[in-house]
Structure 1
Amino acid sequence: MKFNLDLSEPHVKGCLELLFSSSYKTFHHRCYTHYLKSGGGDSARNSPYEPLRDRPGYWTWLCDHFETEEFQKKSVIGKANRMKLAYVHKKGTKPFVALQHELSCDQISLYKECYCSDKGWASRDARQNYETMLQMQHENEQEGAIQLTEQQICEKVLGKAYGYIRGRGHGPKPNRRASSTSANTYQQMEEELASTEQTVAVQQNQLAV
């Protein structure tokens, strides 16, 4: 399958950058996992990750990077943040958007795919959320019911944080730049209006004299 991609389109470029970034992070995470399993330090340096066996210089650089104070600090913070999650999805680092495209499923079905596996649900809360969304979807189909989109159902059940629907990966984000630009434009208009009023007042005084 071939795609004709126009990199001059911001949304196309952004999507590619997101996928490349995700792949890069996934690979480095696997490298770090191998580094830890190999015992770290010189032991890990002497046992390079298989895909980097022909690139010893890069593997050595990664080992040095894993031992820096900055990386260790970020690692501790990352672990602490993950511990705060009520439950974790079961699809690794693959973007939800890419997964939804592969499965060609709706948003509620995608939630089940991400938080339920052959071993069961990620947690009772995850299962309850899914069942609640299904119930709301069923009620939504009844005659006379207030029509809600799937996104609205997900938002009502899962909640929203910083413009993202919880448990749904990348989602709608508020246009902070647009809001900031609007505020700045409004302030600029007020200043220009005040300046114009002052100029008119001065001219009126001059005419009166």
Structure 2
Amino acid sequence: MWANLEHKRRCEINKVNRTKLKSNHFMGSRAFVTARAEIGVNEHGGVEPNRIEFYKSTHYSSEKGWSSPEAETNYNKMRDLRARSVSEENPMTIDEIVDNILGTRSGYIKGLGYGPKPNTTTATKRRTVELEDALRRAKEDAATAQHDLQEHLNVAETEVANQQIQIQTLTSELGTLRARQEEILNEMKCHFIGSSPSRYMKVTIGSRLIASEVSLHSSTSQS
């Protein structure tokens, strides 16, 4: 094989191309398709990792860290875009997110190598449907909880408003009663003074005497 000049030429070209990469991977000459299938079997219960997580698997090592700062930046951008997209009405697919961050080239899938994009496996489709259904239920539960909370707040505000109205009404009625009481007392004073000043004096003195006798009797009883 090494005697083949064409093979040597291709190796040299590949070597130069690898030096031009902004974010090298750790797969070496290993086929991405094979690596992705093995990761799915060994780490994800038979389900191949999506392109975002597979990108991390090929560009990050627990021993060496990220293959380059650009690789770490690309991965974080994809994670952030996915997090923002999930909350939207029509979230982006994984392929759309990866293509948006890494770009596209004819006949080449960024993060997967050359060739057409592989069809999504049945397990991956099922998992996607489950996640979308869980997200839909979570949104519905959140909307229901918010509606119930708003109803409770409305009821509480109504009760507080009614209590304030009752307090104001009672305060007004009490003020009216006090004013009427004062008016009656004034009328009685005027009546007694106008009809018979001496009678008014007697009533006043009599009231005081009665009060004094009651007080004296109370003191005697205590002795």
Report which of the two has the higher share of helix. 2
**TM-score between the two structures when normalised by the length of structure 1:** 0.46
Bigger Rg, which one: 2
